[in-house]
Amino acid sequence: MDRIVIRGGNRLVGTIPISGAKNAALPLLIASLLTTDTLTLRNLPRLADVNQLVRILGNHGVEYTIAGKRPGESVDAGQTVRLDAAHVIDTTAPYELVSKMRASFWVIAPLLARMGEARVSLPGGCAIGTRPVDLLLMALERLGASISIDGGYVVAKAPQGLRGAEIEFPKVTVGGTHVALMAASLAHGTTVIRNAAREPEIADLAECLVKMGARISGAGTDVVEIQGVARLGGASHVVLPDRIEAGTYAAAAAMTGGDVLLEGAKPEALGAALDALRAAGATVTVEELGLRVRRDGGEIAPVDVTTAPFPGFATDLQAQFMALMTRAKGRSRITETIFENRFMHVQELARLGARIRLDGDTAVVEGVDKLDGAPVMATDLRASVSLVIAALAARGETTVNRVYHLDRGFERLEAKLCACGADVQRLAA
């Protein structure tokens, strides 16, 4: 297994191009199952999770082509993938595939809405809490599906098609909202989703569905209305920039007292994270090409944050912000309200000299004057990148093991950091 070795101490200075958002790419790829026509997606990030999902779609009969790099095109340009689901040959998503990536469970929605049936493995255990699918199934039942569980599989049926309904989520769920949007687009009649997730990736999926012929209003707010249509067609869509990647490099720039232009980053997509970074002492300015984040000389101020659905502070940036707080001048409290057990990075940050105490759903971080490099273990996607941020500011060398977690969600991480002066090296196993 690959490792990366980071020698800390360098300020990050330069430009980092922000890739297409992983969390938008995944539902957009799945939306290809809704139509017999071709869906073209541009600016897809080159990530293990994207490749894995394309393979899963291939299993259902989706044919795909990935455009090669054009002459003169930079490596920063995302991929273009054309997906053609004219012939769905299998409505079963097997355990071996779904267990590797939770979001692949969402294929249940287009398969059910278009083909009238789907058999999808329950996703199974996950490192960051139980992450059930009850609300996704509730939404499909509201739309008229019959749902049963058989040998670890969810069997969903709607032989006469789905019908529009009121869906009120008792808790904000991104996956639930994606599933409801896709399924309702092909249902008979009108669907209203209440307490819908407002994440920018929801609006991006809705925008693509509208290009495919769906009739959706209100996506990006907490009430979304969908008038079902009989069929959807092809479209071409550009994946929006990754706000989590942008927030991660923003935290890294602040951590190292650097000055980085996050090319393509959209400030409105970062929600409360920008306020937290500013409160911590970073200067964030909106420039023509993106967001510039810098921290000059001064100290890192302690800031309390609590994760919340968008536009609140993203749970996917919690670990990265905690890494920044390990060097703050004073005590900060970081409260996780979305996922239980999303503090695996705490023990690993402690290996670098961080002082963090867990108190239920809150991590109490006592800022320290210095961190020291050490071998650490990547545990999940966002946790692992928090170790990279800490290592960039630590004295000496840090080895991050199990970097396949990073490859799931961060495109060309070492290259992007090295281009800004970091000393990061990948060692192949």
Q: How far is the CB of 228 from ligand UD1 (least distance, A)?
A: 22
From candidates 134, 268, 287, 296, binder to ligand UD1 by CB under 6 A: 134
Q: Determine if 200 is a binding residue for ligand UD1 (CB under 6 A).
A: no
Q: Determine if 132 is a binding residue for ligand UD1 (CB under 6 A).
A: yes
CA-CA distance, 251 to 184, in Å (whole number)? Answer: 38
Residues β-bridged to residue 183: none
Contacting range for ligand UD1; rule: CB under 6 A; set: 2-10, 50-58, 83-91, 132-140: 132-140
Dihedrals φ, ψ of 64, to 5°? -140, 150
Q: Determine if 365 is a binding residue for ligand UD1 (CB under 6 A).
A: no
Catalytic member of 126, 208, 418, 420: 126
Question: Which residues between 61 and 120 bind ligand UD1 (CB under 6 A)?
Answer: 102-103
From candidates 12, 16, 18, 26, binder to ligand UD1 by CB under 6 A: 26
Q: CB-based burial of residue 337 (10 Å sphere; 0-12 exposed, 13-18 middle, 19+ buried)?
A: middle
Question: Which residue number is nearest to ligand UD1 in terms of Cβ?
Answer: 175
Nearer to ligand UD1, 137 or 261 (CB): 137
Question: Which residues between 284 and 343 bind ligand UD1 (CB under 6 A)?
Answer: 315-316, 338-339
Nearer to ligand UD1, 205 or 371 (CB): 205
244 neighbors 382 (Cβ within 8 angstroms): yes
From candidates 175, 257, 302, 373, binder to ligand UD1 by CB under 6 A: 175
Q: Could you count the other beta carbons within 10 Å of the beta carbon of residue 9?
A: 14
What residue type is 353 in one-letter code? G
Contacting range for ligand UD1; rule: CB under 6 A; set: 70-78, 125-133, 285-293, 393-401: 125-133
Q: Could you count the other beta carbons within 10 Å of the beta carbon of residue 206?
A: 25
Q: CB-based burial of residue 115 (10 Å sphere; 0-12 exposed, 13-18 middle, 19+ buried)?
A: middle
Q: How far is the CB of 197 from ligand UD1 (least distance, A)?
A: 6
Q: How far is the CB of 201 from ligand UD1 (least distance, A)?
A: 6
CA-CA distance, 129 to 342, in Å (whole number)? Answer: 7
Q: Determine if 183 is a binding residue for ligand UD1 (CB under 6 A).
A: no
From candidates 48, 118, 135, 413, binder to ligand UD1 by CB under 6 A: 135
Nearer to ligand UD1, 134 or 168 (CB): 134
88-100 b/e with 16+ CB inside 10 Å = b? beebbbebebbbb
Nearer to ligand UD1, 103 or 374 (CB): 103
219 neighbors 206 (Cβ within 8 angstroms): yes
The DSSP output letter for 186 is T
- Is 126 an active-site residue? yes
CA-CA distance, 22 to 51, in Å (whole number)? Answer: 11
CA-CA distance, 341 to 360, in Å (whole number)? Answer: 10
Positions in the binding site for ligand UD1 (CB under 6 A): 23, 26, 102-103, 129, 131-136, 171, 173-176, 315-316, 338-339
Active site residues: 126
